[in-house]
Amino acid sequence: MSTTTVEPAPAAATERLVRELQERGWEVSSRLRWVAVARRGVEVEEADGATCLEALVRLAEALRLEEGARLP
């Protein structure tokens, strides 16, 4: 016997997930965000923002903290 799995359309999947979370008491919203990513060798840092500039500013701040030389 073979089974065929029918993937729900993306919209249906979204609605299902939102409903599931609402049933658990969450008010759910979603929005698009910009993501800025910096890579150097194996290091990766990323930040998001409402605009590309905001994402880059946050990325720069995150890197400033990460890059600071540190001793225990």
Partner 1 sequence: MAYANATRERLRGEIAAIREAGLFKEERFIHAPQGAEIDVEFPAGAAVQPVINLCANNYLGLSSHPEVLAAAHAGLDRRGYGMSSVRFICGTQDLHRELERALSTFLGVEDTLLFPSCMDANAGVFEALFDEPDVLIADRLVHASIVDGMRLSKAMRDTYKHADMGHLEQKLAEHQDRRTRVIVTDGVFSMDGDIAPLDEIVALAERYDAMVFVDDSHASGFIGATGRGTHEAKGVLGKIDIITTTLGKALGGASGGCVSGHAELVELCRQRARPYLFSNSVPPVIVAAALKVIELVSRTTERRDKLEENARYWRRLLTEAGFDLKAGESPIVPVMLYNAKIAQEMARELFAEGIYVVGFFFPVVPKGQARIRTQLSAAHEKHHLDRAIEAFVKVGDRLGVRGLGREEIAARFGL
Residue ranges that bind partner 1, judged by CB under 8 A: 42, 58, 61-62, 64-66, 68-72
Q: Tell me the DSSP string of 4-71.
A: ---PPPHHHHHHHHHHHHHHTT--------EEEEEEETTEEEEEEESSHHHHHHHHHHHHHHHHS---
CB of 43 to partner 1, least distance (A): 11
Closest CB to partner 1 among residues 18, 48: 48
Closest CB to partner 1 among residues 9, 69: 69
CB of 64 to partner 1, least distance (A): 5
Q: For tokens 């930040």, what's the residue?
A: 47
CB of 61 to partner 1, least distance (A): 5
